[in-house]
Amino acid sequence: MAKDFDLLVGTWDSVQRRLKDYLNGDEWEEFEGVSNFRLLKDGWAHFDEVEFPAVGTAGLTIRLFDPAREEWSIYWASSRNGQLGLPPVVGKFGPDGVGNFYSEEQWEGHDIICRYQWSGITETTARWEQAFSLDGGKTWKPNWVADFTKRS
């Protein structure tokens, strides 16, 4: 639905955990983030800016809702390279309130499926996870997790 991400509007603090090697590693790094989520155009578009002060990077996300398909396309851009990541991950929320969004792409020479998963979205908390699959979606390797807490 076009209102799926509306509860995220506002400023959020987050604890970010990511694998140093997304495909083969088991060593995680942890750092904080601050995100500002905005609602655009009556809910069919969302935008957020995130800063990671400890690692010296920032990024932005654009989410666009297609009412005909009832799906979101989610685009990510990082200050590391100043480019919009393509393709977007595409998907929707299920009846359980969990949103799964997928793309097929290349990562370091490997064909992967990338999954973004949003869960636990309430007025004060949310969780986002990125995972990669090398076997067509049979198994997943989570490589970045963010737990969000909304500022008062």
The tens digit of pLDDT for each residue in 74-94 reads 999 999 999 999 999 999 999
Residue 5, amino acid: F
Q: How much is the average pLDDT of 133-137?
A: 97
Confidence of residue 71 (pLDDT cuts 50, 70, 90): very high
Q: What integer best gives the mean pLDDT of the chain?
A: 95
Confidence of residue 45 (pLDDT cuts 50, 70, 90): very high
Q: Please give the residue range of the domain that contains residue 93.
A: 6-150
Q: Two tokens at 74? A: 């989610």
Residue 152 has pLDDT above 90, yes or no: no
Burial 95-110 (b: 16+ CB within 10 A, else e): eeeebbbbbeeeeeee
Specify which residues 118 forms β-bridges with. Answer: 99, 128
Residue 113 has pLDDT above 80, yes or no: yes
Residue 1 lies in a domain: no
| Burial class, 2, CB count within 10 angstroms (exposed 0-12 / middle 13-18 / buried 19+) | middle
Residue 39 lies in a domain: yes
| Burial class, 112, CB count within 10 angstroms (exposed 0-12 / middle 13-18 / buried 19+) | buried
Residue 2 has pLDDT above 80, yes or no: no
Residue 127 lies in a domain: yes
Under DSSP, the state recorded for 22 is T
Residue 106 lies in a domain: yes
Coil vs helix vs strand at 70: coil
Which region among 37-41, 55-59, 69-73 has the lowest average model confidence (pLDDT)? Answer: 37-41
The total of structural domains in the chain comes to: 1
Q: Two tokens at 38? A: 């905005």
**Residue 63 has what pLDDT?**
96
Residue 1 has pLDDT above 80, yes or no: no
**Residue 43 has what pLDDT?**
80
**Residue 133 has what pLDDT?**
98
Residue 132 lies in a domain: yes
Residue 71: name the closest of 123, 5, 126, 127 by CA.
5
Residue 122 lies in a domain: yes
Residue 32: name the closest of 15, 11, 47 by CA.
15
Whichever domain contains 66, its CATH number is 2.40.128.20
